[in-house]
Amino acid sequence: MPDLFRIRDHVADFDAVVSEIIGRSAATRQTLPMTADIPYGSESSETVDIFFPAVRNPAMPVHMFIHGGYWRMFSKRDYSCIADTVTAAGAIAIIVDYSLMPSVRMATIVDQVRRARDWVVTHISEYGGDPGKLTVSGHSAGAHLASHLFTLDHAPGRVRGALLLGGLYELDPLRHSFLQSEIGLTDEEVAEFTPISHQYETATRVNILVGADETPPFHTMADAFAELLHSQGLTVSRANLSARNHMDSVLDLAIADTDAHRFLAALLRET
């Protein structure tokens, strides 16, 4: 039986898409105004890169992006290209780095992205950003991590909007996939960090997106999470991206006039 979570088996051009994302990101770091490797903590992985619009205005909106990779691969440098469309919309882009499993456990990573958010709220005004205009996005495991930035029990009210793409909102199914031998999710991690088991801040507007060509579990999880957020009183939308898979959907966030980009631009405008 095929492993529906092994992305490489279901995306024929996986390597080509990843290469394009990384290549675009290298170009972004050469062309956009940026300040690199700003620490939000003491570990070497606890840094963010900040990218700025070509024309800076007072109190600019701020957008954080959290990369995916099943919590065990990629880095912020691989996803600098997301800043292209964010800064084109007049917002500051913050690309977050974090430690990788299995060298650390999930509790460490969730704590890291929360501390990155807290650093932004405290310090982004020094870089021309308005902490009251903070939105976040994440892809795959990054969407999972982004969901933990607007839970009701951890600094509610700090995130005005979230775009969650191809996210992982139920962790137990992953224990029956190829991933378990690589990161070894524990009972405690599944119980504590499964997004559908949390309460969320009702002031956060949420867009939940899935590539139409993703495997069924990604659609099932997205539907369940959207229903949960709606039941808790959040403003939530749920959409499929036509003819997109798990990898080209995130590439599209960096490309103007794609469906993914239009959802991101709308989030920045509305919040």
pLDDT at 243 over 80: yes
Task: Give the pLDDT confidence score for residue 1 in this predicted structure.
Answer: 76
Average pLDDT, the chain: 97
Q: How confident is the model at residue 21 (pLDDT cuts 50, 70, 90)?
A: very high
Distance from C-alpha of 261 to C-alpha of 247, rounded to nearest angstrom: 14
Parallel/antiparallel/unpaired status of strands 129-139 and 60-66: parallel
Which residue is associated with the tokens 């390597």? 15
Domain range enclosing 224: 8-266
Q: Is residue 2 part of a domain?
A: no
Cβ atoms of 209 and 162 within 8 Å: the answer is: no
Higher per-residue confidence, 270 vs 255: 255
pLDDT tens profile 48-74: 999 999 999 999 999 999 999 999 999
Tally the domains of the chain: 1
Residue 156 has pLDDT above 80, yes or no: no
**CATH code, domain with 76:** 3.40.50.1820
Give the burial class of 231: count Cβ atoms within 10 A of its Cβ; 0-12 exposed, 13-18 middle, 19 or more buried.
exposed
Residue 107 covered by a domain: yes
Residue 200 has pLDDT above 80, yes or no: yes
- The whole-angstrom separation of Cα 212 and Cα 163 is 16
Name beta bridge partners: 163: 137, 207
Q: Give the 3-state secondary structure of residue 212.
A: coil
The whole model's pTM is what? 0.98
Distance CA 115, CA 255 (A): 29
Residue 184 lies in a domain: yes
What percent of the chain lies above the pLDDT cut of 70?
100
Contact 48, 75 (CB under 8 A): no
DSSP element (H, E) containing 211: strand 205-211
Residue 1 forms part of a structural domain = no
Q: What is each CA distance from 181 to 8, 177, 217, in whole angstroms? A: 17, 8, 19
